[in-house]
Amino acid sequence: MCAQRPPRLTSNHISQLASSLKKNDILKKPKPSTKGIITYQYRPFKNAARTDGLELLHWLKCYKGANGVIREPDDSEYPYAKYNKKVQLYKYNDEEYDSLIRPESGNWTREETDYLYDLCEQFDLRWHVIFDRYEQQNSPTPRSLEDLKERYYNVARKLLVSRQGREAAVANSTIVKHPFNKQVEQDRKRALAALLARTQQQISEEHAILAEARAIEEKRKAEAMAARRAAAAAAAAAATTAATTATATAATTPAVGPAAAAPRTTSPSQPGRPAPLPAGPGGGASAATMAAAPMGAAALGPGAATVAAAPGAPRALSPGPMSLGGDLRHPADFEPAPPPGIPSLLDAEVKPFKPKPGVYLRGAHTQAMAAQQAAVMTGGSRAFKAVEATLTELACPVALYGPRVVTRSTAGAWLALRAEVIALHEMRRNLANRLNADTDRAARHYGGMALSAILQVTRSARRVRFLGRSRFSQKLSPEPSPERPELVGAPPQANGQDIRV
């Protein structure tokens, strides 16, 4: 494949480019420097880092003034002398050595200590170089690298504390805060030497032992997780069995008066209020019914629990959220390290989520699942504002905005909290809709009964009036005669129609 040829420039292109340039910028002359004309001079210099007074030559940037005088810049010193950094050494004098250092010197003499300090200053505390250059004949006993370090840091620590007056004033100093320990240093080096001296067979054995230990740990975690799930399933089954038994007992118990009637969704005396829970052995609400009610319904009160747990209850007017379809999980169910085969991420229903292969940020994924929870909520953004208000009432910013450090445990707990709050608001909305529907139904029922009663009373009144007039007319009518048999027992007629009151 041949390369594309560059576009051809025309006179129009050149004129456009030329018009974009400002004429003032082209014609504007550069301002003369106030320092003068730049010139370079071959001048001698001395390095401040050297103590032997060596003088060398180099090219130096200078400035030539209008009068022809060449002057050097203000910072004409050797620029690389600033990189000559020296280690801070705590040197002692005769008085400090006699009063502070000599009483605890042990087998160290003043001459050997001075020799050690000279090497430390010369090689900037590079201890391997110092140990290599250290002349052992100057010491009564052979010195190891740890002996040299211990001598220097002990002397420096005593000098620093003595000059400050007390140890608390220099407690944050490295020498005081982390004193040198000769025994720990020797143990560390021996352990490192043993680690580096391992054979390939020993390394393989250690790797096998570590792999077996990891497998045992994962197996224990899986067994613990299975035990927790089995316990949760057994508790749920027991609650379901208790609720079923209580419902069957209530259904098979013969009715004795109006108090033993089947539980109603609403109170017959007050249609707008929920009916109380069926009485248990202690006279209160049935424990099985309360146990069978979901978490959100239990939070709404006894009436909500009855609506949610009654087996014959009518269907809710609005669909519940997706969290109502499954169990509302507890944060303890979310392990930081899930067993093998269980995904680490969680979906909007707070269940293990297996994404497509790739790299995922747990925080971004958790926020996306939270947005999905809000999107599927009945009522839209207006209804979700009530959820945000409930989360704000908890006085915990993490409940509203999410955890700062997003792990599997914190992400699962936050999503479960949001799902439970959404379920709570959905149950409240369903309960309100159900109560409104029952109120309207009761109003229509009682209104129809009242209208029927009014019509019945009206008909009765009309019949009474009709019968009264009929008897009165019979008293005023003449005796029946064979010529007019229609007057006998016949109601009065007016133009061939019944008399209406």
Q: Is 11 part of a structural domain of the chain? A: no
Q: Which pair of tokens denotes residue 28?
A: 């504007």
Per the structure, the count of domains in the chain is 5
Query: Residues 75, 100: one domain?
Result: no
Query: Residues 76, 98: one domain?
Result: no
Q: Is 395 part of a structural domain of the chain? A: yes
Q: Rounded distance, CA 242 to CA 291, Å?
A: 8
Q: Is 68 part of a structural domain of the chain? A: yes
Which pLDDT belongs to residue 279?
44
- Give yes or no for a contact between 218 and 339, defined as CB atoms under 8 angstroms apart: yes
Query: Residues 168, 121: one domain?
Result: yes
pLDDT per position as a tens digit, 213-225: 999 999 999 999 9
- Give yes or no for a contact between 62 and 27, defined as CB atoms under 8 angstroms apart: no
CA distances from 65 to 29, 58, 244, 275, 361 (A): 19, 22, 107, 105, 64
Which pLDDT belongs to residue 21?
62
Nearest 5°: CA angle at 191, between 189 and 194? 110
Query: Residues 170, 225: one domain?
Result: no
* 3 state DSSP class of 296: helix
| Full-model pTM | 0.39
Query: Residues 144, 161: one domain?
Result: yes
* Residue ranges making up the domain that contains 50: 31-82
Give the residue from 182, 210, 237 where a domain finishes. Answer: 182
Q: Is 256 part of a structural domain of the chain? A: no
State the alpha helices, DSSP H only, in 6-109. 11-20, 23-27, 94-96
Residues of the chain with pLDDT under 70: 1-4, 6-7, 9, 13-28, 32, 75-76, 251, 253-333, 445-451, 453-455, 457-458, 460-501
Query: Residues 345, 435: one domain?
Result: yes
Nearest 5°: CA angle at 266, between 261 and 272? 150
Q: Is 386 part of a structural domain of the chain? A: yes
Angle between helices 110-122 and 145-164 (to 10 degrees): 90
Query: Residues 339, 396: one domain?
Result: yes
Residue in the structure block whose two tokens are 């008085």: 95
